[in-house]
Amino acid sequence: MNRADHSSNRSDAEVRSVVAGIGWPAIGADVAAHLQALLFQMEHSQWLPEAQLRERQLGQLRLLLRHVQSTVPHYTDTLRGVDIDGLGWEAFQTLPLLTRKVLQAEFDALRSTAPPPGHGAVVEGQSSGSTGMPVRFLQTAVTQFFWNALTLREHLWQQRDFSGKLAAIRIKVDEGRWPDWGLPAAAVFRTGPGATLNVRTDVDRQLDWLLREDPDYLVTHASNLHALAESSLKRGIRLPRLRQARSYSEALRPDLRERVRQAWGVEVADGYSCEEAGNIALQCPNHEHYHVQAENLLVEILDEADKPCKPGETGRVVVTTLHNFAMPLIRYELGDYAELGAPCDCGRGLPVLARIHGRRRNMLVLPDGQQHWPSMPASMWHSVAPIKQFQVTQTESGSLDVNYVMERPLAADEIARLERLLAERFGHAFRFRWIRVDAIARSVGGKYEDFVSRVV
């Protein structure tokens, strides 16, 4: 779909009006009007050539760095004497990287002593700690505003019908039914009803709940979506009204999209975000790769020598938030790895990430020191035994622990077959320790990882 095609196929969503007697064209509340104004600008900016987007980013970056230079103690020495107005990309790329460890240790020095009053209330947040290193951070009403606008952009990109029913299975929610989709969608549009369920609910109970709720759209963690699809296939259950599944919070397993198609006949729309920086990249409406949300942040993909990667290369994800004046994150290394993509044929100038790989701790380490992200599709496990859930942990370079959930212990011949299959996929015949468990718990942040290395 090119730009013209996209513009002619926009959602005909009904905008919510707050003025009595005025239904169309609608007059929105202040917050809705502000969101619509930003969406209007981003409808134009997404089509700018990448060079023009970079020029706009640089202008906003200079505004941010002038603020940082005078109000953020951590950067006092780094930026002393730097000509911010004349700053170019080469000079920017010489600024030091900000690690999670530094963010954790120097919270007070990284906060601005004078956040602009117009940016609204400053609030403190904390990451889920799924990396084993939770970090505190500050955000403002402005940063939340951009998060909301980009959430709406994702709805519009995927051309969702706001009159449909949205089911959300996630962390920090209770089971409930709601009159609308909640913020930010309901601030701007008239929406259908919503329903929520906590992701820690047993998967079969989740599936029963989905059958009762019969939603048009489902949003949940990527691993939970996979578990639901597997349970649905096993039980022969379809979700008759479901139009699309939306995943977030975790890197997609390679077989997730196909399993969801097999289970329900719908596609998966994925998003890439973090609590500290908000929406980082959204799936292209036309492809399975992701567009960096360049209006809100800078994203660098760097190799191990801190040099920019080329399309097709995988490197570390480094972000710079462009609108957080309470605690600017400048060249912040998330701990994630992603593959840089080539420009997209959809016509958007927004940079492309071909794939999000996940954290360094999700990389398998071979005895010779080579590392790669292991592929262990559920179909491989199911071809051998009725394993409900698994998690592989690398405890040392030559050994792997496999925790698995199954109604009975694995037989000796099943273990032998699985070890052969895993050796083929991993490129090495590891020593295995097989441990049958009742359940594999999610992290505090509700995430689940099927492979974790303790040796990276």
Under the phi-then-psi rule, with left for phi > 0, alpha for psi from -120 to 50, and beta for the rest, what region is 373? Answer: beta
The band of 324, judged by pLDDT with boundaries at 50, 70 and 90, is very high
* List of residues 6+ apart from 102 with CB closer than 8 A: none
User: What backbone phi and psi angles, to 5 degrees, belong to 22?
Assistant: -110, 110
Under a CB-based contact definition with an 8 Å cutoff, are residues 101 and 132 in contact?
no
The full DSSP string for 378-424 is HHHHHTTS---EEEEEEEETTEEEEEEE-SSPPPHHHHHHHHHHHHH
Q: What is the mean pLDDT of the chain?
A: 91
Domain ranges of the chain: 363-453
What mean pLDDT comes out for the span 113-117? 95
Does the structure show a pLDDT above 50 at 157?
A: yes
- Rounded to whole angstroms, the Cα distance separating 303 from 310 reads 9
The band of 7, judged by pLDDT with boundaries at 50, 70 and 90, is very low
Q: Which residue has the tokens 């994203």?
A: 299
Tokens linked to 255: 């077989």
**Range of lowest pLDDT (99-113, 345-359, 377-391, 441-455):** 441-455
The band of 12, judged by pLDDT with boundaries at 50, 70 and 90, is low
pTM: 0.86
pLDDT digits (tens, 9 = 90+) for 63-92: 999 999 999 999 988 998 899 999 999 999
Does the structure show a pLDDT above 70 at 323?
A: yes
Tokens linked to 102: 């530094």
Does the structure show a pLDDT above 80 at 11?
A: no
Does the structure show a pLDDT above 60 at 397?
A: yes
pLDDT at position 8 is 39
pLDDT digits (tens, 9 = 90+) for 228-269: 999 999 999 999 999 999 998 888 888 899 999 999 999 999
Does the structure show a pLDDT above 90 at 3?
A: no
pLDDT at position 26 is 75
Q: Which amino acid is at 183?
A: L
Tokens linked to 325: 């004046």
Does the structure show a pLDDT above 50 at 1?
A: no
What mean pLDDT comes out for the span 441-453? 78
The full DSSP string for 295-339 is TTEEEEEE-TTSPBPPTT-EEEEEEEESS--SS---SEEEEEEEE
**Percent of the chain clearing pLDDT 70 (strictly above):** 95
Under a CB-based contact definition with an 8 Å cutoff, are residues 95 and 78 in contact?
yes
User: CATH number for the 363-453 domain, one of 3.90.380.10, 3.30.70.1880, 3.40.630.40, 3.30.300.30?
Assistant: 3.30.300.30
pLDDT at position 445 is 66
Does the structure show a pLDDT above 70 at 456?
A: no
Greater confidence (16 vs 326) lies with 326
**Range of lowest pLDDT (27-36, 51-60, 128-137, 149-158):** 128-137
What mean pLDDT comes out for the span 10-34? 76
pLDDT at position 347 is 97
pLDDT at position 449 is 82
Does the structure show a pLDDT above 70 at 130?
A: no
- Quickly count helices (H) and strands (E) in the chain: 14, 20
pLDDT at position 348 is 98
What mean pLDDT comes out for the span 139-168? 97
The band of 10, judged by pLDDT with boundaries at 50, 70 and 90, is very low
Under a CB-based contact definition with an 8 Å cutoff, are residues 381 and 226 in contact?
no
